[in-house]
């Protein structure tokens, strides 16, 4: 299949852009797939109420079909039509954070096919704030099922070029809307349990959620790397990034981390191995290795969220045998950053 690649400027949705979005919408209504930007990561969109579309999404990503998709909507009425009941907490959270990087899990009704929910009786729903995404949802019949637009096992795409790498030839269209704003996938909160429970950390932090809801739980498996329990979000059990070289996260004071990584890098180089290092703007110049990349500024976590997946993807091209990364503060947005980084490292972390 030939994949059309089109460009739209989110800040300038003119007649040409609207015409493209109408075309993209009819592709989705007819059962085809379109990759599009959201404020978190790029999504791979199909009609969320069409079981055949969801099957195509799993096939294009190479994703296990027990891993449910998020349904993207453009208004609250759309939510009311596909769930058994909208809990009070959902209205509160939608008022506070939608459109935005938060996904709500509720009990689905018969309109949502099991193909979309990976066989579950619940459905994950999100209203994105990206204007291209919002317009596309409206043009597509109101319900776009969209996982991140990467091949299963690779980091989520934060640029259209990442979608092109993974999905070119497999889907009808890729909408290039430039770099995404946030860079990490949405926070997921399950509203079907007595106390709402965070299943995936993201830009909307536990503190922001508990300020609205009073109290929230967090699925321990996503913050405790030693937990052997199964995560409640099926997708969280899969490794998101399998670097060719083993990634080790190193935690400690800045001086100790740099000294440790440089010593390990020297040892590896002596064995003829190629070494990659993930540092920050402030430390990048202090390492010795074949490939050294900065993931952003430690004092501005949003820069790290924005760059992390891109940097992980860049290492795929570098053929390194071993990789080391600095560790980041595990609070606020740092919780989401460390969750993704630990997954990439297969939970391999040393404290020095």
Positions touching Mg ion (CB under 5 A) are: 148
For residue 188, the surrounding DSSP H or E stretch is strand 187-190
CB of 340 to Mg ion, least distance (A): 10
Residues 136-155 contacting ligand TXA, CB under 6 A: 146-148
CA atoms within 13 A on the CB side of 52: 5
Q: Applying CB under 6 A, does 105 fall inside the site for ligand TXA? A: yes
CB of 134 to ligand TXA, least distance (A): 12
Residue 219 CA to residue 214 CA, distance in Å, equals: 17
CB of 112 to ligand TXA, least distance (A): 10
For residue 106, the surrounding DSSP H or E stretch is strand 102-107
Please count the other Cβ atoms lying within 10 Å of the Cβ belonging to residue 328. Answer: 22
Please count the other Cβ atoms lying within 10 Å of the Cβ belonging to residue 45. Answer: 33
CB of 10 to Mg ion, least distance (A): 22
Residue 243 CA to residue 309 CA, distance in Å, equals: 12
Tell me the per-residue interface mask from 18 to 57 with ligand TXA, x by CB under 6 A, - otherwise: --------------------x-xx-x--------------
Of 8, 78, 82, 126, which lies in the binding site for ligand TXA, with binding defined by CB under 6 A? Answer: 126
How far is CA 330 from its chain centroid?
18
Nearest to 240 by CA among 143, 141, 339: 339
Helices (H), the chain: 15-29, 51-61, 76-82, 88-97, 131-139, 160-167, 206-213, 254-270, 301-316, 333-344
Nearer to Mg ion, 148 or 325 (CB): 148
Residue 205 binds: one of Mg ion, ligand TXA, none (C-beta under 5 to 8 A by kind): none
Nearest to 146 by CA among 131, 129, 162, 128: 128
Tell me the per-residue interface mask from 207 to 246 with ligand TXA, x by CB under 6 A, - otherwise: --------------------------xxxx----------
Q: Applying CB under 6 A, does 109 fall inside the site for ligand TXA? A: no
Q: How many residues bind ligand TXA (CB under 6 A)?
A: 28
Window of 88-96, 120-128, 209-217, 316-324 that interacts with ligand TXA by CB under 6 A: 120-128
Binding residues (CB under 6 A) for ligand TXA: these are 38, 40-41, 43, 67-70, 103, 105, 117, 120, 122-124, 126, 146-148, 185-186, 188, 199-200, 233-236
């Amino acid at each position: 299949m030939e994949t059309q690649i089109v460009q739209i400027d989110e800040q300038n949705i003119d007649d040409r852009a609207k015409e493209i979005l109408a075309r993209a919408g009819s592709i989705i209504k007819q059962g085809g797939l379109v990759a599009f930007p959201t404020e978190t990561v790029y999504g791979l969109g199909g009609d969320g109420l069409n079981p055949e579309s969801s099957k195509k999404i799993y096939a294009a990503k190479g994703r296990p079909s027990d891993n449910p998709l998020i349904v993207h909507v453009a208004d609250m009425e759309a939510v009311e039509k596909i769930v058994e009941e909208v809990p009070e907490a959902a209205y509160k959270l939608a008022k506070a954070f939608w459109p935005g990087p938060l996904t709500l899990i509720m009990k689905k009704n018969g309109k949502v096919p099991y193909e979309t929910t990976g066989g579950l009786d619940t459905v994950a729903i999100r209203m994105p704030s990206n204007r291209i995404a919002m317009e596309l949802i409206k043009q597509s019949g109101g319900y776009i099922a969209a996982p991140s637009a990467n091949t299963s096992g690779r980091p989520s795409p934060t640029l259209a070029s990442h979608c092109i790498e993974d999905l070119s030839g497999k889907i009808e269209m890729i909408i290039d809307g430039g770099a995404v704003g946030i860079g990490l996938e949405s926070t997921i909160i399950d509203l079907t349990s007595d106390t709402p429970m965070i299943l995936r950390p993201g830009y909307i932090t536990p503190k922001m959620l508990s300020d609205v809801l009073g109290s929230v739980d967090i699925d321990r498996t996503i913050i405790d790397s030693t937990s052997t329990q199964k995560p409640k979000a099926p997708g969280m059990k899969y490794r998101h990034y399998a670097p060719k070289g083993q990634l080790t996260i190193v935690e400690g004071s800045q001086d100790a981390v740099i000294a440790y990584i440089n010593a390990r890098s020297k040892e590896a180089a002596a064995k003829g191995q190629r070494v990659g290092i993930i540092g920050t703007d402030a430390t990048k110049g202090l390492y010795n290795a074949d490939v050294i990349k900065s993931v952003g500024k430690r004092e501005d976590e949003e820069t790290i969220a924005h760059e992390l997946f891109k940097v992980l993807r860049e290492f795929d091209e570098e053929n390194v045998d071993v990789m080391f990364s600095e560790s980041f503060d595990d609070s606020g947005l740092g919780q989401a950053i460390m969750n993704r980084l630990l997954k990439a490292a297969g939970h391999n972390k040393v404290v020095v």
